[in-house]
Amino acid sequence: MSIIAQHGEIFIILACLFGFFMAWGVGANDVANAMGTSVGSKAITIKQAIIIAVIFEFLGAWLAGGEVTATIRGGIVDPALLEANPQLLVYGMLSALLAAAIWLLVASAKGWPVSTTHSIVGAIVGFGAVGLGMEAVAWNRVGTIASSWVVSPLLAGTIAFVLFKSVQHLIFESHDPFAAAKRYVPVYTFLVGFIVAMVTLTKGLTHVGLDLSFGQSFLFSLLIGTVIMGTGISLQRRIKYERRADDHFGFSNVERVFGVLMIFTACAMAFAHGSNDVANAVGPLAAVISVVRSDGVIDSAALVPWWVLMLGGGGIVFGLVTYGHKVIATVGTGITELTPSRGFAATLAAATTVVLASGTGLPISTTHTLVGAVLGVGLARGMAALNLSVIGTIVMSWLITLPAGAGLSILFFFTFKGIFG
């Protein structure tokens, strides 16, 4: 009687518990990053952010998280090497989930925005290299992933810098900033709709079986962008100019126009994030379930049962509601002070970077990209606008994420091996 047949039920229960714990961590840490810019810029309150995130993250997870990402399941460790001992894959995936989840718990408690993608990748590499041998890990894949961690924040920062400079030039420096805002913000609204639709269509929806070519995605995105621009214009019409004694240039009115825009960026960011990052929690869980259900046959393309996605979505929502506010505070206000126009530049830059990366197939981290973008906006206002000590802490926590995930995962791997044999 194989180990899997003997302890199958226990493995599934453990995988569900750890998967939920991991999804909780994603909610507490990663979703908070996606929402941080909108809350920090006072475009929406923390309560509204949580409601938006709950709805859109859940939709993203459930609609677009369908088939598990190949990278998390079979791209980092070669499953073919485990045909003889499928239980090792089960131990490995369980320890990767638990290790990544514990690290996320620590990071969220400290309010550090770390990347769930990194912690799970680190954990899988850890158990693969030590538990199965160095040759089991696809090092070239790991190298590509590592290089994207440097590229993505730099790229996002550059785009955010340029975007915010364009906002300063076209709107804030014009004779009538409020009129200029009304004129140019619809263009930016269109960009948001278009770019986020591209993110979702190119990166998110291939899992659902909606396999659109790049051209089709482009046309759909143009359409979605136009619709969102229309909605934005109708909301914008309601904003009337308010004279305030302390505001000579009418900048506060301009920020109110940008506030409308941020609502769209927040919803869209949450959806795209839900469709992608749920895989971090659900991927290993699905791997365990498929191995146990098939009595030890390792199939790297098994479909995920719908309840697993619901479990992931539920865990994310729970994490955000219970713990998300700490990281929201770091990203939204800690790095540099955000207003709606700055928050918009940061969110849009991050989303654009994710699209470009998806087009080239680079696995990147939403966290890094967003933090890079927020830095870019801060730089556009001058070095003095950046809070350097917070930035130092964030970079430190990024460097620790990989070894922390890997180390914990190795520890748990041998623990499970010792318990179950």
Residue bearing the bigger pLDDT, 126 or 269: 126
Q: Under 8 Å CB-to-CB from 143, ≥6 apart: which residues?
A: none
3-state SS, 60-128, equals HHHHHCCCCCHHHHHHCECHHHHCCCHHHHHHHHHHHHHHHHHHHHHHHHHCCCCCHHHHHHHHHHHHH
pLDDT band at residue 68 under the 50/70/90 scheme: very low
pTM, two decimal places: 0.75
Task: Specify the pLDDT at position 67.
Answer: 45
Residue bearing the bigger pLDDT, 253 or 72: 253
What tokens does 2 get? 């194989």
Apex CA 255: angle with CA 227 and CA 54, to 5°? 55
Residues 44-59 have pLDDT tens digits of 777 888 788 778 877 7
DSSP state of 134: G
Please give the mean pLDDT across all residues of the chain.
78
Task: Specify the pLDDT at position 43.
Answer: 73
Task: Specify the pLDDT at position 385.
Answer: 72
pLDDT band at residue 301 under the 50/70/90 scheme: low
DSSP state of 78: -
Whether the per-residue pLDDT at 343 is higher than 50: the answer is yes
Of the candidate ranges 96-105, 124-133, 163-172, 351-360, the one whose mean pLDDT is the lowest? 351-360
List the one residue out of 57, 14, 35 whose CA is nearest residue 316. 57
What tokens does 295 get? 């009595």
User: Which domain covers residue 42, as residue numbers?
Assistant: 3-420
**pLDDT winner (highest mean) among 72-81, 103-112, 164-173, 342-351:** 164-173
For residue 114, give Cα distances in angstroms to 71, 105, 247: 20, 11, 38
Residue bearing the bigger pLDDT, 132 or 18: 18
**18-40 average pLDDT score:** 79
Residue bearing the bigger pLDDT, 384 or 160: 160
CA–CA dist 373, 351 (Å, integer): 10
The answer to whether the beta carbons of residues 214 and 131 sit under 8 Å apart is: no
Residue bearing the bigger pLDDT, 295 or 65: 295
| Residues 76-107 as b or e (16 or more Cβ within 10 Å = b) | bbebebbeeebbbbbbbbbbbbbbbbbbbbeb
Q: How many domains does the chain have?
A: 1
**pLDDT winner (highest mean) among 133-147, 172-186, 263-277, 388-402:** 172-186
pLDDT band at residue 304 under the 50/70/90 scheme: low
The answer to whether the beta carbons of residues 163 and 345 sit under 8 Å apart is: yes
Residues 229-256 have pLDDT tens digits of 888 888 888 877 777 766 666 677 788 8
Whether the per-residue pLDDT at 181 is higher than 50: the answer is yes
pLDDT band at residue 158 under the 50/70/90 scheme: very high
DSSP 269-283: HHHHHHHHHHHHHHH
Whether the per-residue pLDDT at 10 is higher than 80: the answer is yes
Task: Specify the pLDDT at position 370.
Answer: 80
Task: Specify the pLDDT at position 65.
Answer: 56
The answer to whether the beta carbons of residues 283 and 22 sit under 8 Å apart is: no
Whether the per-residue pLDDT at 203 is higher than 70: the answer is no
